A and B are shown apart, each in its own frame.
Chain A
């Protein structure tokens, strides 16, 4: 286990997440793609912490990333619930009102 291998795995997770976020039509599946991307970010940040600067400050940064993931999921579910309740939509293509 080296920094490079950790970053490679994190890059793979991030890439899989990008595929999901771009290709999925269901709102919740898009959120799963975003979650996978953040999963990769967390792993990469952990790798940086351990292999470059293992101080307590880096752990605080990781907690912030996890908090951001929590906020994203909570607001995503709230918006998905609102969409479903107001127009019965659960697909991104059905909520393209702001598309130019």
Chain B
């Protein structure tokens, strides 16, 4: 890719990422906000591709598109109607929040511009994705061994939190109630 193309593409994607990110809190419905966030994530994922991060960029795009689609379903669940038709303006202390955000941006931008960043050390591997796979299955396997149980624990915890009726509801606090207290009887011969 030519340098000019990379520069133009980066700025287009950057404006899209920040613009749609800001739109999330400007549009008047949750569904539109969800899709604005999805576009912002897709723009960042494509910007990662420009930075040579092929695998991470594609993962970001795919994961966030799916996540935002699921989030839109949650909106419909909670609001019980088509959320795209439901105008909303539910904020508190917007000026204070804007002040904090502006201060944060100025601070981070000053750091980005004023810090004497070191020169690049090393060169990217020829096949970035293969190198990542080798790192995950080799020297950095401990990281993935840690992330995997965390993700599994998240699955279990999320189901436990979100489920309507757990075993204590069915079998009592000491789990000794038989038969289970179910809203509708089930099983053979019940």
Chain B residues packing against A (C-beta within 8 Å): 6-7, 10, 14, 17-18, 21-22, 24-25, 30, 33-34, 37, 40-41, 44, 47-48, 50-53, 55-56, 59-60, 63, 67, 71, 74-75, 78, 88, 90-94, 96-98, 100-102, 104-105, 108-109, 111-113, 117-118, 120-125, 128, 131-132, 134-136, 139-140, 143-144, 147, 150-151, 154-155, 157-159, 161-162, 164
Contact = CB atoms under 8 A, between A and B. Distances in A.
B100 A22 contact: yes
B34 to A, nearest CB: 8
B105 A24 contact: no
Contacts, number: 225
B97 A4 contact: no
B36 to A, nearest CB: 9
Overall SS of chain A's interface: helix
Chain A, interface size category, equals 35 or more
Contact of A16 (B18, B60, B71, B109): B18
Given A1-B10, A15-B101, A90-B78, A8 B109 contact: yes
A77 to B, nearest CB: 6
A2 B108 CA distance: 16
Given A28-B71, A51-B120, A52-B121, A43 B101 contact: no
A36 B128 CA distance: 26
A11 B104 CA distance: 8
Interface of A: 1, 3-20, 22-26, 28-29, 32-33, 35-36, 39, 42-43, 46-47, 49-57, 59-60, 62-64, 66-67, 70-71, 73-75, 77-82, 84-85, 90-91, 93
